[in-house]
Amino acid sequence: MAVCACGCGEDELTKQLDKIIDQYRGQPGGLIQVLTKAQELIGYLPKWALTSIAKGLGVSLQDVYSVVTFYALFSLIPRGRHKISVCAGTACYVKGTKTVLKTLQEVLGIKPGQTTPDSRFTVEIVRCIGACGLAPAIIIDGKDVHGRLEPEQIPEILEQYA
Protein backbone atom coordinates (compact mmCIF):
# COMPACT_ATOMS: atom_id res chain seq x y z
CA MET A 1 0.00 0.00 0.00
CA ALA A 2 1.29 3.45 -0.91
CA VAL A 3 1.95 5.97 1.84
CA CYS A 4 2.83 9.61 1.29
CA ALA A 5 5.13 11.79 3.35
CA CYS A 6 2.23 12.89 5.56
CA GLY A 7 1.52 9.25 6.44
CA CYS A 8 -1.83 8.93 4.69
CA GLY A 9 -2.53 5.69 2.85
CA GLU A 10 -3.53 4.95 -0.71
CA ASP A 11 -7.25 5.53 -0.05
CA GLU A 12 -6.60 9.09 1.14
CA LEU A 13 -4.13 9.67 -1.68
CA THR A 14 -6.74 8.48 -4.18
CA LYS A 15 -9.26 11.00 -2.82
CA GLN A 16 -6.74 13.82 -3.02
CA LEU A 17 -5.69 12.77 -6.53
CA ASP A 18 -9.33 12.72 -7.63
CA LYS A 19 -9.67 16.35 -6.46
CA ILE A 20 -6.63 17.32 -8.55
CA ILE A 21 -8.01 15.52 -11.61
CA ASP A 22 -11.41 17.22 -11.16
CA GLN A 23 -9.74 20.64 -11.43
CA TYR A 24 -8.43 19.80 -14.92
CA ARG A 25 -11.16 17.54 -16.29
CA GLY A 26 -12.08 18.59 -19.83
CA GLN A 27 -9.17 21.01 -20.15
CA PRO A 28 -6.91 20.31 -23.11
CA GLY A 29 -3.31 20.41 -21.98
CA GLY A 30 -4.13 19.67 -18.34
CA LEU A 31 -2.24 16.39 -18.27
CA ILE A 32 1.16 17.84 -17.35
CA GLN A 33 -0.34 19.94 -14.56
CA VAL A 34 -2.14 16.90 -13.13
CA LEU A 35 1.00 14.77 -13.35
CA THR A 36 3.05 17.48 -11.65
CA LYS A 37 0.58 17.88 -8.79
CA ALA A 38 0.18 14.10 -8.46
CA GLN A 39 3.94 13.69 -8.13
CA GLU A 40 4.05 16.46 -5.54
CA LEU A 41 1.31 14.66 -3.61
CA ILE A 42 2.66 11.10 -3.80
CA GLY A 43 6.37 11.73 -4.33
CA TYR A 44 6.47 9.80 -7.62
CA LEU A 45 3.98 8.44 -10.18
CA PRO A 46 2.96 4.85 -9.39
CA LYS A 47 0.93 2.83 -11.89
CA TRP A 48 -2.31 3.16 -9.90
CA ALA A 49 -2.00 6.98 -10.08
CA LEU A 50 -1.29 6.94 -13.84
CA THR A 51 -4.33 4.73 -14.38
CA SER A 52 -6.53 7.08 -12.33
CA ILE A 53 -5.24 10.12 -14.21
CA ALA A 54 -5.81 8.50 -17.60
CA LYS A 55 -9.35 7.48 -16.68
CA GLY A 56 -10.16 10.80 -15.02
CA LEU A 57 -8.93 12.91 -17.93
CA GLY A 58 -10.29 10.60 -20.61
CA VAL A 59 -6.92 9.89 -22.22
CA SER A 60 -5.20 6.59 -22.85
CA LEU A 61 -2.78 5.14 -20.33
CA GLN A 62 -0.29 5.00 -23.20
CA ASP A 63 -0.56 8.77 -23.69
CA VAL A 64 -0.05 9.37 -19.98
CA TYR A 65 2.94 7.03 -19.88
CA SER A 66 4.42 8.71 -22.97
CA VAL A 67 4.37 12.11 -21.26
CA VAL A 68 5.79 10.74 -18.01
CA THR A 69 8.70 9.00 -19.74
CA PHE A 70 9.43 11.96 -22.04
CA TYR A 71 9.93 14.60 -19.32
CA ALA A 72 12.83 14.09 -16.92
CA LEU A 73 11.01 15.83 -14.06
CA PHE A 74 8.62 12.88 -13.68
CA SER A 75 9.58 9.70 -11.87
CA LEU A 76 8.02 6.24 -11.97
CA ILE A 77 10.01 5.12 -8.94
CA PRO A 78 10.06 6.55 -5.41
CA ARG A 79 12.55 9.35 -4.92
CA GLY A 80 14.30 10.48 -1.79
CA ARG A 81 13.29 13.53 0.21
CA HIS A 82 16.41 15.24 -1.14
CA LYS A 83 17.46 15.06 -4.78
CA ILE A 84 21.18 15.45 -5.43
CA SER A 85 21.94 16.54 -8.99
CA VAL A 86 25.58 15.95 -9.89
CA CYS A 87 26.71 18.23 -12.69
CA ALA A 88 28.43 16.46 -15.56
CA GLY A 89 28.76 19.53 -17.75
CA THR A 90 32.14 20.12 -19.37
CA ALA A 91 33.61 22.38 -16.67
CA CYS A 92 32.46 20.15 -13.80
CA TYR A 93 33.51 16.99 -15.60
CA VAL A 94 37.00 18.33 -16.25
CA LYS A 95 37.38 19.57 -12.67
CA GLY A 96 36.28 16.40 -10.88
CA THR A 97 32.71 15.17 -11.35
CA LYS A 98 33.98 11.57 -11.36
CA THR A 99 35.54 11.98 -7.92
CA VAL A 100 32.47 13.73 -6.51
CA LEU A 101 30.19 11.03 -7.87
CA LYS A 102 32.44 8.23 -6.58
CA THR A 103 32.43 9.78 -3.10
CA LEU A 104 28.65 10.19 -3.12
CA GLN A 105 28.28 6.54 -4.14
CA GLU A 106 30.61 5.42 -1.33
CA VAL A 107 28.98 7.59 1.36
CA LEU A 108 25.37 6.87 0.36
CA GLY A 109 25.80 3.32 -0.93
CA ILE A 110 23.82 4.00 -4.10
CA LYS A 111 24.43 4.59 -7.79
CA PRO A 112 23.03 7.43 -9.95
CA GLY A 113 19.29 6.95 -10.46
CA GLN A 114 18.88 5.18 -7.12
CA THR A 115 17.43 6.20 -3.76
CA THR A 116 18.91 5.42 -0.36
CA PRO A 117 17.06 2.72 1.60
CA ASP A 118 15.91 5.32 4.15
CA SER A 119 14.40 7.44 1.29
CA ARG A 120 16.57 10.37 2.31
CA PHE A 121 18.52 10.91 -0.93
CA THR A 122 18.23 10.26 -4.64
CA VAL A 123 21.30 10.85 -6.81
CA GLU A 124 21.10 11.81 -10.47
CA ILE A 125 23.56 12.99 -13.09
CA VAL A 126 22.58 16.11 -15.02
CA ARG A 127 24.22 17.81 -17.99
CA CYS A 128 24.64 21.28 -16.50
CA ILE A 129 23.42 23.21 -13.47
CA GLY A 130 24.73 26.58 -14.66
CA ALA A 131 27.45 26.86 -12.02
CA CYS A 132 30.51 26.41 -14.24
CA GLY A 133 32.57 28.88 -12.19
CA LEU A 134 32.04 26.66 -9.14
CA ALA A 135 33.06 23.40 -10.82
CA PRO A 136 32.77 20.66 -9.76
CA ALA A 137 29.32 21.28 -8.36
CA ILE A 138 26.14 19.62 -7.16
CA ILE A 139 22.71 21.05 -6.54
CA ILE A 140 20.46 19.65 -3.83
CA ASP A 141 16.68 19.99 -4.02
CA GLY A 142 16.99 22.19 -7.08
CA LYS A 143 18.10 25.20 -5.06
CA ASP A 144 21.16 24.58 -2.87
CA VAL A 145 24.33 24.78 -4.96
CA HIS A 146 27.54 23.35 -3.50
CA GLY A 147 30.61 24.10 -5.56
CA ARG A 148 34.37 23.77 -5.75
CA LEU A 149 33.79 20.40 -4.12
CA GLU A 150 36.46 18.27 -2.58
CA PRO A 151 35.52 14.68 -1.67
CA GLU A 152 36.06 15.28 2.05
CA GLN A 153 33.34 17.99 2.05
CA ILE A 154 30.58 15.65 0.93
CA PRO A 155 29.74 13.93 4.26
CA GLU A 156 29.43 17.32 5.98
CA ILE A 157 27.19 18.66 3.19
CA LEU A 158 24.93 15.61 3.38
CA GLU A 159 24.62 15.98 7.17
CA GLN A 160 22.88 19.33 6.60
CA TYR A 161 19.96 17.37 5.12
CA ALA A 162 19.51 14.90 8.01
Q: Is the pLDDT of residue 1 over 50?
A: no
* Confidence (pLDDT) at 7: 54
CB burial of 35-67 (b: ≥16 within 10 Å; e: otherwise) equals bebbbebbbbbbeebbebbbebbeeeeeebeeb
Alpha carbons within 13 angstroms on the beta-carbon side of residue 31 total 20
Three-state secondary structure call for residue 44: coil
Give the Cα separation of 76 and 16 in Å (integer): 19
pLDDT in tens, 36-74: 999 999 989 999 999 999 999 999 999 999 999 999 889
Q: pTM for the whole thing?
A: 0.70
Taking all residues of the chain, what is their mean pLDDT, rounded to a whole number? Answer: 92
Mean pLDDT, rounded, for 115-123: 94
* Confidence (pLDDT) at 5: 47
Number of H helices, E strands in the chain: 7, 4
